[in-house]
Amino acid sequence: MSLLYALLFYVATAVFIGGLALRIRQYWQTPAPLKIPTMPAPLNNGGVALRMTREVVLFESLFKSNKWIWLFGWLFHVGLALVLLRHVRYFQADVWGIITLIQPFGKYAAFAMVAGLGGLLARRIVVERIRYISQPSDFLMLFLLLGIGISGATMTFVAHDTDIIGVKAFFLGLMRFDLSNPLPASGPLYVHLFLVATLMIIFPFSKLLHAPGIFFSPTRNQADNARDKRHIAPWAKELER
């Protein structure tokens, strides 16, 4: 099982990094020939940076659009962020002080993550117009994330037989391409890691790409300065020469 999961995570990491890099490259090279910022829009780059920060951290536009969706979405994303930061310790020989401080919050953030996902799943099932436009992949992402959250919480609060020191030794070994540290035998751990690896593999090909994609959205990353500065896409500049 140790060898199987080692190979699985090597493949998952390669697909995740490679696929994400290709997608970001595609976003970067996609031309934006028109000025199309959503109004009211900032007039300069500093305002754009502030607007993007509010959008990424507070989900500002979603808050203005639908308070219930904002609540569940923000709850899930904040919980997920804390959980991910808590897991950084498994990849550090000497754990940073800030990661140590986050541990108690990240431990209980799993409940916020699962609660947010539950609300988003109920929305897709209960709201008729959302259910109508939902695809199987939308439910797959939600169930996959729910499985990760529930299996992780199970290891923390229900099944206490997982050797977390052994798990850390296993992943530190993978980072050095050293497979001598075995993965501790634990059913919930096997399920949790398999779901995480599956998510890593499908991430670059799913709607979860909105995470990096928001930074390339012309409705958000453009300043409303069309009257002061002519906007010409890079490919259009070549045609003018």
Residue whose entry in the numeric block shows the structure tokens 């390669």: 14
Burial of 183 per CB tally in 10 Å (0-12, 13-18, 19+): buried
Domain of residue 105 covers 2-240
Give yes or no for a contact between 195 and 189, defined as CB atoms under 8 angstroms apart.
no
d(CA 130, CA 116): 17
Q: Give the integer Cα–Cα distance in Å for 203 and 20.
A: 8
- The two structure tokens encoding residue 193: 């890691």
How far, in whole angstroms, is CA 158 from its chain's centroid?
26
The per-residue pLDDT for 86 is: 95
Amino acid at 50: L
Residue 8, pLDDT score: 96
Integer-rounded Cα Rg, in Å, for the chain is 21
Task: State the Cα–Cα distance between residues 19 and 65, nearest whole angstrom.
Answer: 32
Residue-wise pLDDT tens digits, 63-100: 999 999 999 999 999 999 999 999 999 999 999 999 99
pLDDT of amino acid 235: 64
Least confident of 12-16, 79-83, 163-167, 234-238: 234-238
CATH number for the domain spanning 224: value is: 1.20.950.20
Domains held by the chain: number = 1
Q: What are the tens digits of pLDDT across the range 34-54? A: 888 888 888 998 999 999 999
The better pLDDT of the pair 176, 232 is held by 176
